[in-house]
Structure 1
Amino acid sequence: MTDAAARLAALAEEVLGAPLPLRIRAWDRSETGPPGAPVLILRRRRALRRMLWKPGELGLARAWVAGDLEVEGDLYEALDQLAGLLWERDEPAAPRRTRLAAALKAARDPKVRAAVRELVTLAGPGLPPAPPREEAGSTRGPLHTLRRDKQAISHHYDVGNDFYELVLGPSMVYSCAYWERPDTTLEEAQRAKLDLVCRKLALEPGQRLLDVGCGWGSMVLHAAREYGVRAVGITLSEEQASYARKRIADAGLTDEIEIRVQDYREIDDGPYDAISSIGMAEHVGSVRYAEYTGILHRLLAPGGRLLNHQIARRPEPDEEAYHVDEFIDRYVFPDGELAPVGRTVTQLEEAGFEVRDVEAIREHYALTLRRWVANLERSWPEAVRLTSPGRARVWRLYMAASALSFERNRIGVNQILAVRTPESGASGLPLRTRDWRG
């Protein structure tokens, strides 16, 4: 077979109803497409079989993770162009759906049907191979039980602390940084974020702080060292807990900080003066969110503050039709769910909180993700050695695609400050907005 690239480009245009904005290089080394554009490389025919048998982002993701599909050139530009083909970008409020999947599953046009048949022939005989081993295994039973949540967290976080050090840098903070300027270092921006959280919580010496989803201990370390609090951090990841405890011991703060491998539903030693939840609530799930907010309200002392830092999606016209991103669910955050910020505010209020401030910082996350991608790419051989080629490709794809999603306003991230206001009505906040201390 010769000139597979030209045939693929023509067939793709027939199916999608639009020309491919990327160059294509096929397994036979043929190449076609706009000069200077990023190159989509199909290294093996099975990449095409994966995409035909599972049309949409999951088939593409499996081909990418397996190394059957690669991009040469600007990855961000390539992903942005692919997003324009795969998803209905002209209908931002419509339910997320795949143009490719719709074309392949519901095509009635004889020309499209003929093109699909030729694509199947071009892909070669046989079923697609099994999904890459980096894909999370199928889970059964009710969502967000203690056991299932622990398994989901382990899939994402227990992939090696050395790997995360490469990606996150010395701060070891795996959430959106806070940038005063784009040329600030990642470490400075992460320190600024931690300090912003501490100031919003109005932390003072001697207070008790609970950090829900403490990761590698950066928040509790900063709060204890800079604000003199006594802190408890909880995580479901054994690897994170071991790493955090060592950092705390090295800092001489073992009397001030306790790290527990514990689910938020198992905490019974309140009240706390302040609670931080930074990048954790995305794992809670809609079926448990009311329980989550109720538990945090119960654990907080009257007058205490909660800082909930959480990624948000845009609302759908039909919320019942919302479905999670297949690539993220299978390869990155199993069982993770995003909710619109308005729903999160409502559920906090229904739990008894008084919501006092919402700060949207989505552009900050785009900057953060681009720095993480740069860290990963700079240390690529070591990242592959520490995990696997497929795992490194998962992280590169999801972080680069997420950066674009924040930049294009497809998702956002918000810091919500809420208070367990006592019966007297005295919130403890100042009259001036964002002065933080009363």
Structure 2
Amino acid sequence: MTELDLVIRARRMISTTGEVPGAVGVKGGRIVAVDAYDSPLQGAAHLELADDEVLMPGLVDSHVHVNDPGRTEWEGFTTATRAAAAGGVTTIIDMPLNSIPPTCDVPALELKQKAAESQASIDVGFWGGAIPGNAEQLRPLHEAGVFGFKCFLLHSGVDEFPPLNPAELELAMREISAFDGLLIVHAEDAHRIDHAPPPNGASYQDFLRSRPREAEYAAVADVIGLAALTGCRVHILHVSSADVLPMLAEARGDGVRITAETCPHYLTFSAEEIPPGATQYKCCPPIREAANRELLWEGLRDGLIDLVVSDHSPSTVDLKRLDTGDFGAAWGGIASLQLGLPAVWTQASRRGFTLTDVARWMCQAPAEQTGLKHKGRIEPGYDADFSVFAPDETFVVDVNTLHHKNAISPYDGMPLTGVVRGTWLRGEPVGAGQRGRLLQRGAQE
């Protein structure tokens, strides 16, 4: 073998078979060898991890709202990718809404790509949007390389990204099925939420009642029914209610091609702990009760929930309405892109899960869901994307030290276990001068 560019040795490395000692050889930005820790691999550069560090694949976060262009005061590609890298994330897939224009046709995608190409410090791909009236734009977007299409079944929070009604949802699914694309769904039923009690000021319990779990259940049932009818591949975003898990299991048993995700905040927080007026915790669907949280963990254990991604949905501080604490008026979204790995590891380790489990949920499964064939694993042929993680080191979150644009997060002041000490993209430390690449579905990244 010709001399390698880099050899990394770690007494703890997360491989697809588990945690093992290992050595990794890198050439041209790709992993070309994975061998025993004491193997004779030699490279132009050499890195040996400390005994308390673990070499993990770079995380793939397939649910990130960057909001650029159009709402860059909320977030932008510079700050979002910097925050991601600080959290061990080497690839993000950007959501189509909250930017202006939303990514619902090819010209809008090109604007988004232009905004990202000069700013991104890690690799970035893009979701397209499925909204009323754009069914004819879905195939061109697919051919332009988006990873799939996001839709809402109720108001998205921004008027320029309206929801699909049942007939429009079926039309979109038939069109996407025709080219074997992927539809990802914010699954809450508009009718049930319209008839729920309205949120009432600073009361979190009133806000929770305004987004009942029945709305999530009904929406997932509708998506499953249409997926069975049309053959469309579907993915349920940010599962917050464990009530949907048996339905997901039954649908898969019936041959429906459906996957699901949840997010660190649903696995960390509980409704009982959220104080009045603490609108930094507001997200939709909402954080539910502690007993429900434990059932989500069991859903991960049983494989009913496939992946864990951030749903990083930031805004300016004023939109969170901390001045009034009004859950009805505050923007619904949690900024956590930098904190996903330690937040999930803190909770997972308490429940007997391993770092191999975490890597499967946060590296391997998101890469597989999006079709990124060279991401998410430490294996020959994969991109040399790594996170160097110290799983036993603790820290207290200080929102003012996080890299996302606006200093607000429900994790502020929370002790977490696990520190990202380094992030490598295609064999180089992030920040060493190289830029991230813009990724396209189906391309050889």
TM-score (norm 2): 0.29
Q: Which has the higher strand share?
A: 2
Q: Structure with the greater relative contact order (CA < 8 A, sep ≥ 6): 1 or 2?
A: 2
TM-score (norm 1): 0.30
Q: Which has the higher helix share?
A: 1
